[in-house]
Structure 1
Amino acid sequence: EEGVLQACERLGVGFVPYSPLGRGFLTGAIKSPADFAADDYRRTNPRFQGENFARNLALVGKVKALADEKGCTPAQLALAWVLAQGPHIVPIPGTRRIRNLEENLGALEVRLEDADLEAIEAVFPAGTAAGARYTEAMMQLSRG
């Protein structure tokens, strides 16, 4: 993963980050694994289980505090951060509700200064999320 964004920029290739809101975690709406329906994929995702869930929820709380300072939602802050990584990056946050789409579009109005980016990266540096991105079976499939 490291170096991919730089390579895309160097080659003039766009990058579409998958799940830029951390499968909904960065919206601030998820408070407990019980929030997931019985058939929700996130019930099996390591980042949403046990101690990993608690650690990641604490990170979301820190993101929420930064968002509050900027006068935006955690989702808007997360998307604004993604957009600030370069003009070749186009996030595709999924949603089932018009109000969430409208909230996501509000990220375009969030202006992040260098100090804001540094504060976000201090709270949530690369590799900070607790737990594997996918189950071991899915990780094996992704490795070919």
Structure 2
Amino acid sequence: MDYVQVKKNANEILKRRIAECSYIEYKSSELQLDKILKTICAYGNNYYNNDIQYLFIGIEEENTAENKAIPLLPIKGIAEGQLEKCKNNLNSLRSFLYPNVSFEVIANQFAGKNYLLIIVMRQSGGPFMVAEKAEKNKKINLKPGRYVRENF
């Protein structure tokens, strides 16, 4: 994977304020573990057959009558001192997916602010599921099952 190009593509998505779609999702915080895990699972199942899918962490969405699911600029970002902790927290989600969904957590900057990017490439070996232990985990509390992205 060409990380330099992936980072450039991600920043271009933010710059152009591209709305959420089958391969783009925004989350304001890494604490939204249930929604992040659900999205990673859905990206693994790749209903829309995308080569690469982006999940931005630290990016709030505009939610007005005119604009929905568009990145809010300037971005909220993640404090420099929190990046490693957030990255570890996100990487821990791997244990709640089966079979394993391969993904990368990458730190990036946009307009001087840090954010994290979860990249999910095209997978094989699915369907992918969220394990039962995700529902029992108080920080996640996500029902087990197979998730896919729809309505794009």
Structure 2 length as normaliser, TM-score?
Answer: 0.27
Greater relative contact order, per chain length (Cα 8 Å cut-off, separation 6+)? 1
Higher strand share: 2
Structure 1 length as normaliser, TM-score?
Answer: 0.28
Higher helix share: 1
